[in-house]
Amino acid sequence: MEYRIEHDSMGEVQVPADSYWGAQTERSRGNFPIGVGLETMPREITHAFGILKKAAARANRELVPGRMTAEKLAAIETACDEVANGTLDSHFPLVVWQTGSGTQSNMNANEVIANRGNEIAGAKLLHPNDDVNMSQSSNDTFPTAMHIAAVTEIEKKLLPALTSLIEAFRKLAKEHEGIVKCGRTHLQDATPIRFSQEISGWSESLATDREMILATLPMLRRLALGGTAVGTGLNAPEGFDIMVAKKVSELTGTEFVTAPNKFHALSSKDELVFAHGALKALASDLMKIANDIRWLASGPRNGLAEITIPANEPGSSIMPGKVNPTQCEAVTMVAVQVIGNDTAVGMAASQGNFELNVFMPVCAYNFLQSVRLLAEAMRSFEQHCVVGIRADEAKMHDNLMKSLMLVTALNPYIGYEKAAETAKKAYRENISLKEACVALGYLTPERFDEVFRPETMC
């Protein structure tokens, strides 16, 4: 491999000749060989750096034009576009497990943008610190990148996938209106319910999760940029924080504002904890829904077998013809991961000291993984399972009529204790509720048929 010599404040460093990164990135590559190739800094963060560096350069051009010349701005903007759209992803090799402020990733962005910008300009025009990092610090850029990435990924990936799944369940409910089945509580038979009502519970749970996620966005829209090193805004021009938030909004097409208190913005990650709590709520509901579906599909002969789900692939290497609820299993595994990530995000946020939180990379890594996994799992679940769910009406009716809890319909006519005695007799002697009730002398056969109407109980 061929190398070139780069330098930073600590001296000279050999850097691969074909890379745009510089000395500080190369030092980090050598100092943190942890999770290499597996746990690189999330690309959502890398792309967000392209956005915020472009926004910062535009704000600097307006506020300090003597330092940010039109020529420099043009080179930075073109390089930033390539960072933001992923063209330069291979030039961002650093792992999550680095300095807790994300300093090396900020410098990785500065070096790549400076070197690529110089290549575009055909001259050594840009310095990574003096020009690309102008009016900034790693301490305010990394939390800004976190918030930009969080909002854009939630808006572009998570919410569309969630909304689509909600609509799929609503459509499924309409397709199954009028089907009455046995309800279940405590994993035991309960009073009847319409299958459409059961499905409506699933869709409404997800709709509520969507409301909670939307409620977190206003806080995630607050950007730390402009606080620089400790929140005082040292070396940033007056009004930079407000202007750069406006520029980020223009570039992303969604609203961002400057954080009202930069000391809070640098040292606290509570907005991400709050937002991830909503992601955990979604994961919890998806776990419940996926489990309901695989229980209802259990069988096909020795389970509940009240619904069928798509048979996507063989389920066993030894049992011919076996089909498993694999989409449900994938959703539940994603839910477990997200619930685990919530602990990591919460712990990371709790570890801020004085003017800075130094657990930001791991916080960003877990948060963005949760968003990505939930979005992808919901898309797959909808396409490969939910749209293909079909009720087995005959099985539902058979299970319904076997349910001893239909005896609840008799309460107004014979009272709770006599109804309980009827159910126990029917269970003990393996006879129908009608046979038990008539045998006990509580109702005549004709009166039983008159008041015993399961379809009216839901």
What positions carry a catalytic annotation? 186, 316
Cβ(276)–Cβ(367) below 8 Å: yes
Q: If you write DSSP's letter for every residue of 175-194 in order, what string do you get?
A: HTTT-EEEEEETTEEEEEEE
Could you tell me whether strands 180-185 and 3-8 are parallel, antiparallel, or unpaired per DSSP bridges? unpaired
Q: Which residue shows structure tokens 């051009």?
A: 61
The Cα 264–Cα 286 span in angstroms is 33
Task: Report the chain's terminal Cα–Cα distance, integer Å.
Answer: 73
Task: Name every residue whose Cβ is closer than 8 Å to that of residue 288 and which is 6 or more positions away in sequence.
Answer: 205
Q: How many CA atoms are closer than 13 Å to the CA of 306, on its beta-carbon side?
A: 21
Q: Read off the tokens for 172.
A: 């499924």
User: Peptide bond before 412: cis, by omega within 30 degrees of 0?
Assistant: no
The Cα 182–Cα 189 span in angstroms is 7
Cβ(303)–Cβ(293) below 8 Å: no
Task: Name every residue whose Cβ is closer than 8 Å to that of residue 190 and which is 6 or more positions away in sequence.
Answer: 182, 183, 184, 403, 405
